[in-house]
Amino acid sequence: MELAVGRASRKSAVLSYKTLEKPKSKWHIHGWFCLIGCYLLMMYYTTVSGWMVSYFGRFAFGSFRGGMATEEVSAVFGQMLSSPTEMGVLAVAVVIVGFLVCSFGLEKGLERVTKVMMLALLAIMIVLAVNSFFMPGGEAGLAFYLMPDAEAVEKIGIGNLVVNAMNQAFFTLSIGAGGMLIFGSYLGKDRSLPGEAVRIAKAEMPEANKRMEALRAQCVQTLTGTVPDIVFLGGGSAHILSLSLPGYRSEVLMNYLEAKGIYVSKSSACKRGKRSHVLEAIGAPDKVIDGALRVSFSRYTTAEECAYFCEALAAARKELYPSL
């Protein structure tokens, strides 16, 4: 929606709603909320940017050194917080630099500086990521950062988790704060919104494919150890896992899984209701073809859902009687 509003109005967050709204309507109020949200973000990030400048200076002049205990690091942070003059001066300096960059205009100032800073940030992140693999205890840290924890989710509560996710979207994407709206205001009339949506989605595809491949491999590994005689059919795409339980009809397995809230297919979309001609062509036995299932993954599929599917399929193997 924000892309559409921005492209149609070619204005800022506040003026875009005034331009597009009907007379006497109140949509422009949302634009003011967007602006207020951006100011609140600036208040936060200018302070944090001042902290980063302070930390850079402390690293450069030896306040931080290798092997420091947690208490020592906390003491340095506390020392910085105990000096409001230092934090105030650094925050003002960050604001002045920001105004100076913006004074050169969008293309010659903001975009030019952002390109350099984003490349520098990417380089720093790569260096830190590689270094984390070789740090003592790095493996545990990566597992804590990357591996989902169902117990932690249950302890925090799904409601709090959703709110935290929405806050993250607000901070990183400025959804609801006009970030996507401003992006849309720079789209030319020759560029369609569906096309831009496809480009945005395409930019996320490599990471999504990598994640789905990992979930697919997780299922294969789990099912290999828990479901006797299971057959995996071909390599397939990152988002597709084709498997078979010889002796068990696909329809029976599908109904069993559906009762547990799991929905799979027994064939490809182009062969709905029919035997797979591909499996017949590769010479798969009749029992394998008649017991074939097609499992699809998406970017929203979780590791917990994969584990639940594997448990359900293993239970089906134990509870159902072969019918072929």
0.85 surpassed by pTM: no
**134 has pLDDT over 90:** no
Q: What pLDDT score does 259 carry?
A: 92
Please calculate the CA angle 127-130-132 and round it to the nearest 5 degrees.
105
120: phi then psi, degrees, rounded to nearest 5: -65, -40
Query: Percent of the chain, pLDDT > 90?
Result: 17
Span 218-225, average pLDDT: 93
Average pLDDT of the residues of the chain: 82
The residue ranking higher by pLDDT, 191 or 243, is 243
Distance between start and end Cα atoms, the chain: 52
Return the half-sphere exposure (C-beta side, CA atoms, 13 A cut-off) of residue 115. 6
**287 has pLDDT over 90:** no
Q: Which of 22-26, 91-95, 315-319 has the lowest mean pLDDT?
A: 22-26
Q: How confident is the model at residue 171 (pLDDT cuts 50, 70, 90)?
A: low
Please give the Cα distance from 17 to 19 (Å, whole number): 5
pLDDT (tens digit per residue) in 77-103: 888 888 888 888 998 999 999 889 888
